[in-house]
Amino acid sequence: MVILVATGTVIPVAQVSDLHLGIQKKGGTLVVTNLDSTDGTLINEKRLRPGAAVSVSPGSRITFGARIFCEQFLPRTKPWLKTYQLKVSSNRVGAQPPSAFTVSKVSAAEFPDLSGQSVSYAVLQFPAGTTNPPHTHPRSAELLLLVDGSLRVGFVDTTNKLFTQTLQAGDMFVFIKGLAHFQYNADAQNQALAISAFGSAGAGTVSLPTTLFTTSIDDNILAKPFKIDVATIQALTAGPAPKP
């Protein structure tokens, strides 16, 4: 369980310590103190040192164990809301389509009011011939609705079996939480547009190409399971050659 010291509230969470953190309201400020916790406390994904006390701003995410505690004590201001609205407008699907695959997210990272609400969305824009490369979402399944165009989609299950489907506008497809999946616009002439819904305010995205080839994993470690030489791995790590 976790005890919120200022209020005496007890929240049953199996992954946290008996005395985990304290939350106190001092004037117009909320102060969080990391107490005698084993797994620690995170404020907006940043871990607190043992005994550390910090002030949190409106919309901050307080994480302990597997639980996210949404800070609700301080009023959110209109300037913050205006900033978010401008950000959404700048990412709005408009008259000029992107030249590469583009994803516009509305999650807790972009919209703090979603913290703890177990919902988020993403708008996926696929110019002709582009792909959303293999990736996973560690904290949520994905429900994709194809709004325009066509997409070839698929995922690989835990037995390494590939499931694929070609979607047309109006079709929906579910990608299971944690499984590698992809979307590909095979149409060489027309773009595709999809909207994805997630059962988490922070579903997370782990891109397999990025994780494997841009995180300084030793070339020899990658070459052996892929059964290719180190030079090929280095070429993949370097990325595409610049255009002349």
Instruction: Please check whether residue 76 is in contact with residue 113, taking contact to mean a CB–CB distance below 8 angstroms.
Output: yes
Measured distance CA(170)–CA(148) in Å, rounded: 8
Q: Is 20 annotated as a binding residue?
A: no
Instruction: Please check whether residue 146 is in contact with residue 207, taking contact to mean a CB–CB distance below 8 angstroms.
Output: no
Measured distance CA(45)–CA(109) in Å, rounded: 10
Of 67, 195, 210, 100, nearest in space to 142 by CA: 195
Q: Which amino acid is at 161?
A: K
H-helix or E-strand containing 83? helix 78-90
Q: Is 137 annotated as a binding residue?
A: yes
Residue with tokens 């595709």: 192
Binding residues: 132, 135, 137, 142, 181
Binding residues for oxalate: 132, 137, 142
Known binding-site residue numbers for Mn(2+): 135, 137, 142, 181
